[in-house]
Amino acid sequence: MLKFSILGALQIRTVSGPAEISGDLQRTLVQTLLVSEGQPVSGESLVEEMWGDAVPDNQANALQAHVSRLRRKLRGLEPGRAGSRVTMHPSGYRLLVTEGELDAAEFVRAVRQAESASPQDAEHTARLLGGALAQWRGPVFGGFTGGTLCQLAGARYEEYRMRAMELRFDAELRLGRHAAVLAELTEAHTNHPLRERFCEQLMIALYGSGRQADALDVFRRMRRHLDDELGIQPSPALRQVESAILCHDPALAGDVRSSLLQLA
């Protein structure tokens, strides 16, 4: 069994340790097949992803040579495997990846599970997403994004990462761990200054830590930033959190199991 990791630089782990995929074209080929998550990718799409505008004269033979090289590489990593992981279909090439073998697919599964969880399951959600987020070793593909298909996949996984962070912070705040997540929330808000949800959560965490003035200052700075960058006003949800802080809404200091974050 192989483990494929793309939440960071491309990595393939075997029972005996990590294996390296050498060469930009080979890495692009593997990454493109992986982000399709088991669905065939057409030869034309693979050629465009690997070579862009610098397509070789005999593109079909060049692609086939790289596919054959990848087959040999993977076969060497799994000598006991009955068939090849890379197969050809009428609609293109497919890399067989089963459940549990691709970190990005496991990560997305965890986020979807958290999205459907009850607010009363905050402890489980916090643990689930804490473990899922720990799989990230850096930007998708380690920043080696390749062509359009890989770039779109990278953006999709990054959005799931942001969603996972939001859901985890929600769970931690429901559990009353305001001070414990302050540093992470501050970093998230700083790195994504236009993402209002992080701002809302940071304000709630500051207020819950006894720092009302700091919470309101975060709102004021966010309002100026939105006006300067986008020419818009804060969303109703963000303004509602500010209003709740100003009037010391009891919901902000309610039972740790209550739905504190309904305000946002």
Looking at the 3D structure of the chain, how many domains does it have?
2
**Residue type present at position 78:** E
Q: With respect to residue 116, please indicate whether it lies within any of the assigned structural domains.
A: no
- Token representation of residue 102: 């691709």
Cβ contacts of residue 180 below 8 Å, gap of 6+?
172
Per residue in 73-94, pLDDT (tens digit) is: 999 999 888 888 999 988 899 9
Cβ contacts of residue 227 below 8 Å, gap of 6+?
233
Per residue in 100-157, pLDDT (tens digit) is: 999 999 999 999 999 999 988 999 999 999 999 999 999 999 988 888 999 999 999 9
Q: With respect to residue 153, please indicate whether it lies within any of the assigned structural domains.
A: no
CATH number at residue 91: 1.10.10.10
Q: Which of 76, 95, 114 is the last residue of a domain?
A: 95
Per residue in 2-15, pLDDT (tens digit) is: 999 999 999 999 98
Instruction: Give the pLDDT of residue 253.
Output: 61
Q: Which of 72, 95, 118 is the last residue of a domain?
A: 95
Q: With respect to residue 170, please indicate whether it lies within any of the assigned structural domains.
A: no
Q: With respect to residue 48, please indicate whether it lies within any of the assigned structural domains.
A: yes
* pTM of the predicted model as reported, rounded to 2 decimal places: 0.90
Q: Which of 78, 95, 112 is the last residue of a domain?
A: 95
Q: With respect to residue 187, please indicate whether it lies within any of the assigned structural domains.
A: yes
User: Rounded to the nearest 5°, which phi and psi values hold at 11?
Assistant: -145, 135
Domain residues for the domain of 80 are 3-95
Tell me the CA end-to-end span of the chain in Å, nearest whole number. Answer: 44
